[in-house]
Amino acid sequence: MPERKNLCVPVAPHPGIRTLAEPLGDDGARPVSERRGSHSERTAGRQSASDARFLSHAPSPPVGVGSIAAGSGPTQRLRIRHQQDTLFVEALRPVLLLGRELGNDVNIMDPRASRQHARIERRREGFVLFDQSTNGTYVVIDGQAEHHLRQDRLVLKGSGRIGCGFSANEVERDLVFFELV
């Protein structure tokens, strides 16, 4: 017998409004507003207890990806260049991780970098760099003096360079270059 998969369809009667829906079954999905009976009546006779998780009365998560609601936040993308790689922080990838650990999006080989050194997030206020390291993160935004972050954050504007554990003014192969596009 094939494994049963639980599917749930959010129903939005009006743009911008999210409504919880029942799992898909033989009768399809019905919006919460059309359900009748108590919670125990609605869940009685279901094949598994996991179906009930779709009927939670908790508030629905914000619309959109990551920490940005649809229709708000930066419309630009942040291009990240490191050695031969080019990545973008955008709606499809709202968080980018930098560090020595191989699981990061940008792998810094310099021993001064922490395993999970920093992250860049796409947020309402723009693209924000968060330092999570021991040695700090150095950022030069073109036309400005170098910023040294220690367990702090900085909104990235324009274009510039990021040094993970070392000065962004150093000529270093592990420099990370960024640019709003």
- Among the listed residues 159, 162, 173, 172, the one whose alpha carbon sits nearest the alpha carbon of residue 133: 162
Confidence of residue 73 (pLDDT cuts 50, 70, 90): low
Sequence letter at residue 59? P
Cα dist. 149→75, 121, 137 in Å?
A: 26, 16, 5
Confidence of residue 83 (pLDDT cuts 50, 70, 90): very high
pLDDT tens-digit series, residues 99-118:
999 999 999 999 999 999 99
- Structure token digits, residue 140: 């030069």
Model pLDDT, residue 19: 44
Q: Please state, in angstroms and rounded to a whole number, the distance separating the CA atoms of residues 65 and 124.
A: 12
DSSP conformation class of 165 = S
pLDDT tens-digit series, residues 47-65:
444 443 333 344 444 444 4
Q: Decide if 158 contacts 140 (C-beta within 8 A).
A: no
- Structure token digits, residue 13: 């009667």
173 CB burial (10 A radius; 0-12, 13-18, 19+): exposed
Mean pLDDT of the chain: 76
Sequence letter at residue 12? A
DSSP conformation class of 171 = -
